[in-house]
Structures are given as C-alpha cells and as structure tokens.
Structure 1
C-alpha cells in the first residue's frame, strides 16, 4: 500500500488500487473492522449523505451531468434485465436466469465504469467495480440484502472520494442516484424472485433494505409540517401517495406490494416503530443505531464486504497500520489462524483451536430514544 492516509478524500495518483479481498472471516474480524479506516470512511459518507438529504424530496432529475452519466449506467443494467427474462416454471430459491444477467453485467461493467471515471482514474476501476457488482446481489446465492445495499453506499462514497461528483454535489443528487439504484434492485428482486440475504425473518426491519429507511427518515426529520408521520405508514393509501418523494414511504410501499396480510404480522418491526416512535427525527436516530448493530457489526452481513488498498483499506483508522486477519484456512482442518502483518510487510501466522464464530439468532431491538421494545425470541 502506497499510502496509509485514512482521510475520506483521496489523491488517486498516490493510491495503490488492487482487487479487493476478503478480510472478515469471523466475529473477531468484525471487531477489527470497527477500528478500520474503511469503517471510518463508510461512517463519514453515510453521515454526509444523511445530512444532505434532510428536507429534500426525491427529484425527477439532476442538473449534475456526472450524476446523470452514472444513473445511465444503472439504467443500462436495468435494460439488461429485459434482455434476460426469467426461466419459466416456479422456483423457490431464485430464478437461475439471474446468473446469466450477472454474466452480462460483468462483461460490460468495466468498460462502462472506465468511460464514466475517465483515463485519469483508470487505476481505481479494479476496486470500484467490486462494490458496484456486490451491490447487485449474489450471483451464486441468488439473494439480496443489506450487505449489498452497503456496497452501493461504498460505491457512491468511492466516487465521492475522488471528487468526481464535484463541489456542488447535493441532496437532490444523492436521492436521484439512490432512487435509480432502488428502482433497479426492486426490478431485480421482482423479476428473479431473489431471496432475502441474511434475513432475520419476521423480526428483521425489512427483508432486503435498511439504509433506504435512514434516508427517508432524514428527508422529513426536521420538518414539523411533514405530510405524514411514522404512525401513518399503516395507511397503505398514504404511503403510496408519498412513495415518489420519500424513501421511507417508497420502501414500505414495496413491502405492501410483495407481501399480503396484516401489516403488523408480516412487518412487525416496522409496525412497532409506527406505534411507538413519535417523530421522524426519533425514527432517524433509532434507525441509525440499529444500522450500526444489525448491519455494520453483523458477521453474516459484513463478511461479504471486501477490502482493497485504495478506497476502503484494511488498516487502522488511528495510525494506518495493517489490521490482523483471523482466518481458518481449509488445510488446518478447522484450526483457526491469526495472520498479522509485520513491520516489513510480511505475514506471521499463529494457529489456535478456535471455535467457529457464533451467529446470534436474536436480533437487537430498534434502539429508539423512546419506549420501543420487541419481544424476545425463545
């Protein structure tokens, strides 16, 4: 790695961009992740975008030419879905045609991204492509979840680090980009019947998304005259009316589209938020805390977030030193191996009989600043 700078802005000429690799193999890796420059940058840009969209409605377009060119890439990916129709017949775990769609995307994405970033940033495409591809769900598992949504946030942030969005990148631009992304993903899910990835089942916030609810809450967080309040999301007609301008409504409207039956039964977490959270600002605060716990600190989610040396490096946010990697190699028969980077850049490996990382079956509650609680599973 040529630079240990952990700042949220980059001088691409001084960065070494490489193919991202897996660094999180267990719960200890998740803990290392929390102290990484990668996490610091994700949190900085998450906070930036949440702040920018405050008080802004989803726009119909953008005056930023760079934003429009990126959205064109997403529209191109949507067109490719039309070119790969789902295979006939009922399928329980996703339609296999989705794998053909991913192949088409892989064949063309490098060229589209290179044209987008230009020759000046050609070296960064090797990392940027990973986050874009990973934001589209899993080609192998035929699923989509919050980890993929996180990868799209990373892709937008990576472009931001390079300064490509420009100095006048606005909340309208953020919403326009993410709206195009969510339209694409909902089309993917509906067309290929993608499974939820890492779902908590009925006690998850949503089968597929989380960040969209944060953005939607922020849009109305400081608006004392918001056209609706969190408790109104149980009214299907009101949700549908405002789905075109607010992401929270857009996400709930999709839930109404793909699920049937009482809202309280198929979406109890969202239902309980509507009954116990009195304002959008409180909803935003609770959703952000929940995102930290249920996405950024959950092994099943972040194990698929990989690391290069440029945008999201596996180094300490405090001093730029390489973080340890705790990996159970197949050849050790389940014996765990902690791999640490020496001062000269070489690797040291220490083996121990460590157990596989525990995966909790209990999801944490929505951490709102008021009285919300969810029942404990048994």
Structure 2
C-alpha cells in the first residue's frame, strides 16, 4: 500500500514559507501553479455539464476511496457529541473542547487514510467503502503502520481548524484542498478520473466537509482566522463559492429557470428549496441562518453586490477564482502555514528552520494597525468592483 519509495529518506512534512523571500519563491513555484490548476480543473468539471448532486444519494459518482472519505466525514460530525462544548460564556470565541475533538482527529487520521488507500485496489461497493470509512473514523478499523501515511495525514490534520488558536479560516480550507490534491496523486480519484467523477467528488465531498466545519464553527465557536468580517466574502470560506458558482453555471446552461441569475440568492424560498443541492446556495443559506438579525445586504455586502452586478454565474465563478488567488494564495499571512511533503514538495530552500509550534493560546496579541495605517494589511479589492 506504500505511496512512496521504500528508500526515500525525505524529511517529514514541514513548513517552508516564513517571510517575504519564501513567499516570493512560493508565488513562482510549481506548487502554487499546481494548486491553481487543481482548483480550476475541478471547478470546470462542475461547469461543463449539469453537475447533478443528489443529497439523498451523495455517494453517486464517487470512487470507493472517496466514498470511504465521505463516510469518515459523516462520523467526524458525531465526534462533537463525544466532546460537547463547555460553558460558552467564558469567551466570545474558541471553546477549548475543540482541542479534544482535534486530538481524536490526530489519533484516527491514519486509519481514515488507510481506509481510503485500501479502497483503491479492492472490489468494494460504494456503500461498503463508506461504511468502512465510518468504522475508521469511529476507531474500529486498523491503521496501517506505513510511515508514508504521514505524507497525507499532515494535510488532514490542518483541515478543520487550529487547536491552539481555536480558529478556522481559508488556510484550513486550503489544507483540505491540498489533501484532496495529494489523494488524487495516489489514484484515489480513479485512473484517469472522468469529468463526471471529478464533479461528483468536488460537490459531494465539499458538501460533507462543510457539514463538519459548520458544526465545529457553531458548537466550538471557532474564531474566523484573519477574517475581514462582513466586508469580506465570508467569515470562514472561499472555495465553495467558486465551485458552487460553477455548478450553478452548469445548471442554468442546461435548464435555465429560477436559478439562472445570481440575483436568485435574494429570494429566501429559493435558497431554502435548493440549498441542499447547490453548494453556493448552501453557503448563502448558512450565512442567512447565522446572521438573522441583519438584512442580507448589510450582513454580506460583497455577496449582495455580486448578486446585483453580475449578469450570470460564469462571471461570478471567474470573479471567485480571482478572489481566491488574491485573498488566499497571495497572502503571506495565510500560506505561511502551508505544509510541504514528498507528495507536495517545496522547490526552494526555506529561509528559516521550522520552529516548534506553540503549546498554549497566545496571551497577548500584537497591536493591529488601524485601517490605512502604515503596516496594515491591504484587503484585496473584489474582482467585480469598478
């Protein structure tokens, strides 16, 4: 089952971006190109046909490996019930019970990945693969002792939030994206994957992933990492808006109807009726549920602006992919946390030696310059803004 040569003595996965010098190297590297190529490829797979996702049959179109991952994600939601949040009145953000949830992730990630890898070469039904993924996440499936599993698990560990800072943001979302990327490299998407299969994987797995992260965000009150608040796209996510816009472009091209215009997000009944199927509308519905006290145009001005100014979903998807580049991949504050491995190797020598991670919550925060002050991080202007 090994995914790397036995005589490969490469170092363990680690960070390689510490400052602007490393950032410049990453920006010109094959790794950044690889991320963007992967994002665009799976986005286009959703846009090149009516990428149907049936929430009543979420395994349809998946490979056994991805059905196994889907099952594990289903069970990971149940871990929240094993580690219920404590008294939420102690802090506005960040319930320490999330650390126990994350410890379970570290303990069971090897079994989750082992199940995915074994499913490549076995004649399993999708339901059987999904059940085994659930067993792996429940702790009743043995993990492989193959050290190469660590080349994958490092990305899964970083996909759901930071247990020390008790936060979640687009960097963690991007780690999950890289996790899927390295799974594709080890043939978990099929060989070669079809566009239909890529669309099914993207929509089904991200729908399920969002179910996990939303439960973590609401129950453990994880702080938005580096959030721009209501002036940004979303407190936590970016990629589902791109994939969701691609999916709606496919649907509007094939069927037209009430979902053909981006303005459809302003009709609450439409969002409620179609949120289970369409990823973009699922995100809008979640935002509306969280921010009931304010009108949508006040709670999410950028998304509202998109709905009013963009003529079609193709334009929205193009803007979202540029926003991902600008707000995530071009931000040192985000990509400095990326981990590089044999399956996702850095092609430059980092300027620093990796430092040990902190073991406790930061006690004092560095003062953040006021907007427009010297040293303040400039926001990325929305691609559709004039």
Q: Structure 1-normalised TM-score?
A: 0.80
- Quote the offset at 1:180 in angstroms: 1.0
Residue in structure 2 matched with residue 281 of structure 1 by the alignment: 314
| Cα pair distance change 1:110/1:11, threshold 3 Å | closer
Q: Distance in 2 between matches of 1:103 and 1:11?
A: 25
- Quote the offset at 1:249 in angstroms: 0.6
- Quote the offset at 1:329 in angstroms: 8.8
| Cα pair distance change 1:133/1:99, threshold 3 Å | same
1:111 aligns with 2:111: yes
Structure 2 counterparts to residues 161-176 of structure 1, below 5 A: 161-167=185-191, 168=193, 169-176=197-204
- Residue ranges of structure 1 left out of the alignment (5+ in a row): 1-9, 316-322, 331-357, 374-378
| Cα pair distance change 1:218/1:299, threshold 3 Å | same
The answer on whether the counterparts of 2:88 and 2:95 sit within 8 Å (CA) in structure 1 is no
1:248 aligns with 2:248: no
1:209 aligns with 2:204: no
1:365 aligns with 2:381: yes
Q: Distance in 1 between matches of 2:376 and 2:303?
A: 21
Residue in structure 2 matched with residue 351 of structure 1 by the alignment: none
- Quote the offset at 1:360 in angstroms: 4.2
1:61 aligns with 2:58: yes
Q: Secondary structure at the match of 1:135?
A: coil
User: Which of 290, 295, 313 is the aligned partner of 2:345?
Assistant: 313
Residue in structure 2 matched with residue 7 of structure 1 by the alignment: none
Q: Which stretch of structure 1 is more off in the superposition, 116-125 or 271-280? A: 116-125
Residue in structure 1 matched with residue 102 of structure 2 by the alignment: 102
Structure 2 counterparts to residues 15-30 of structure 1, below 5 A: 18-30=11-23
Deviations along 1:37-88, one digit per CA (max 9) or x if unpaired, are 2212212211221011223133332243222111111122112111110102
The answer on whether the counterparts of 1:144 and 1:195 sit within 8 Å (CA) in structure 2 is yes
The answer on whether the counterparts of 1:143 and 1:196 sit within 8 Å (CA) in structure 2 is yes
- Quote the offset at 1:19 in angstroms: 2.4
Residue in structure 2 matched with residue 47 of structure 1 by the alignment: 40
The answer on whether the counterparts of 1:203 and 1:363 sit within 8 Å (CA) in structure 2 is no
Residue in structure 2 matched with residue 141 of structure 1 by the alignment: 165
| Greater fraction of residues in helix | 2
The answer on whether the counterparts of 1:243 and 1:253 sit within 8 Å (CA) in structure 2 is yes
Deviations along 1:278-313, one digit per CA (max 9) or x if unpaired, are 1100000011111111111111111111112x2211
User: Which of 293, 301, 306 is the aligned partner of 2:334?
Assistant: 301
Q: Structure 2-normalised TM-score?
A: 0.79
Q: Which stretch of structure 1 is more off in the superposition, 33-42 or 166-175? A: 166-175
| Cα pair distance change 1:42/1:17, threshold 3 Å | farther
Report the number of matched residues: 326
1:13 aligns with 2:8: no
- Residue ranges of structure 2 left out of the alignment (5+ in a row): 119-142, 356-373
| Cα pair distance change 1:115/1:329, threshold 3 Å | closer
| Cα pair distance change 1:66/1:329, threshold 3 Å | closer
